[in-house]
Amino acid sequence: MTYIQDLSKNAIQIPYETSAQFLKDGEQVVMRGYLAVPKNESLYGALEGKNSFTIEVNATPTGDVNYNMFAGKGDYAFALRCRGTSSVDFHIYAGGSWRALEYEMTSAERANWLNQEHQIVGMYDADNNKLQLYVDGVLKKETNTSTTSGVAHSDYSFMIGACPDTGRTSSVDFDNIRVYNKALTAEEVAGQYADEPAMTPENEAVELWVDFEELAKEEEPDVPVVPEKEVCEVFADVEHDAWYEASVQYVYDEGIIVGDGNVFAPNDTTTRAMVAVILYRLAGAPEMTEADYAEYNKFEDLPKEHVWYSDAVAWALKEKVSTGDDVNMKYNPTSAVTREQLALFLWRYAKYTGKDTNVDATYEELFGETYVNDWAKEGFAWAVENGVIKGAEATDAAGNTYFDLNPQGGATRAQFARVLHRYIGGAED
């Protein structure tokens, strides 16, 4: 495992082998991708409750992406991001509600936003219940949080360049990121917006100081322009030449399924919630409002408190990419998804994205005598005809070889990766 060294008193080692690329341009090195900062008592303690903190990012936005993530711990903790070239926002989740601050850029700022380096600062002042947002050393907007409650606890990692809650990522080249355990003053923010920052990593207020430009100062920095990452090296449980290796490589490279650290868990069961989350990410992780939860709230087994799959399932139900048991009012989010359910998910998602979902062959031609539930036949037929779902080679009692479609069987994460590889990447095996 390769690490980036935090220069603060916490000296956190941040692994990057599975998530980030480092690009060298002359004497400058930038990070592209995302980093999950390992849990550290001092840093993580500073980022929740009634504790003031400041997040400073110096970076170059490179794409007009909605919800372009700079840093955060999830929607239900806090996040600093921009909305394409229209606005910059910073929010915390406190007192059971979002406390948000959004600054609408001027036309001149929009014209100079992309491909230019900017300092973006989000600040939470716990003593005065206030949020502030700075861009390029200048205070752009501030607001009262209207609550005395502090930032909600989140079990998610603090991430640079991504949101661990929604799966949103970034189109940004990062120069550095700094976290302070205080609400910086306007003078201090301006002082940090300099070639030689007034406050240095040794300052007691600094909880995290990651400077990618420091890599360029090594005599022989190990900074590949486009590092090649083989999944059998990234994940300890993915074997080289395993039947699913190419598909895991595909979903990993595309950021569709990235695993958990150095574990992919190829043999683990795929659940209905997992499928909803992946399709939600593919759809761009749309922002969900309270009104968008109308269908979600009908199901008794879907938690009312926000969990890792809440937005995804609410989106899937709203857009009719998924349904539940309307008789017993159960969604069964943690139940294993069957192969015919998976086909139905993808068929409905194809319809959602405007793809042709017509089927030319008859059910008998596609399934033969294989039993498929009536509610799944149309979606399963589409998946089989288009090669998204294929059977496993099997042998009958007479020794004849056939392909078992196994509609009611489950799907492992490796099998799900293969299905996604076929559906999105056009894999034909």
pLDDT tens digit string along 246-279? 999 988 877 788 676 678 899 999 999 999 989 9
Interatomic CA distance for residues 94 and 97, integer angstroms: 6
CATH topology of domain 3-217: Jelly Rolls (2.60.120)
For the chain, the domains span 3-217, 231-425
344: tokens are 């139905």
Is the distance from CB of 109 to CB of 118 less than 8 angstroms? no
pLDDT band at 428 (very low <50, low <70, confident <90, very high): confident
pLDDT tens digit string along 44-67? 999 999 999 999 999 999 888 888
- pLDDT score of 229: 67
User: What is the biggest distance separating any 2 CA atoms in the chain, rounded to whole angstroms?
Assistant: 83
What does residue 151 show for φ and ψ, rounded to 5 degrees? Answer: -65, 130
Strands 172-180 and 118-125 come out as unpaired
pLDDT above 90 as % of the chain: 63
Residue whose C-alpha is closest to residue 21's, from 222, 156, 235:
222
Torsion, Cα of 313, 315, 320, 322 (10° steps): -20
- pLDDT score of 384: 93
Q: How many helices (H) and strands (E) does the chain have?
A: 11, 18
**Length reported for the chain:** 429
Is the distance from CB of 150 to CB of 94 less than 8 angstroms? yes
Residue whose C-alpha is closest to residue 137's, from 174, 187, 178:
187
386: tokens are 């288009």
Is the distance from CB of 382 to CB of 389 less than 8 angstroms? no
Residues 6+ apart with CB under 8 A from 194: none
For residues 141 and 263, which has the higher predicted lDDT (pLDDT)?
141
Q: Is the dihedral of CA 414, 417, 423, 425 positive or negative?
A: negative
- pLDDT score of 231: 85
DSSP type of residue 325 = B
Q: Of 72-81, 126-135, 179-188, 279-288, where does mean pLDDT reach its minimum?
A: 279-288
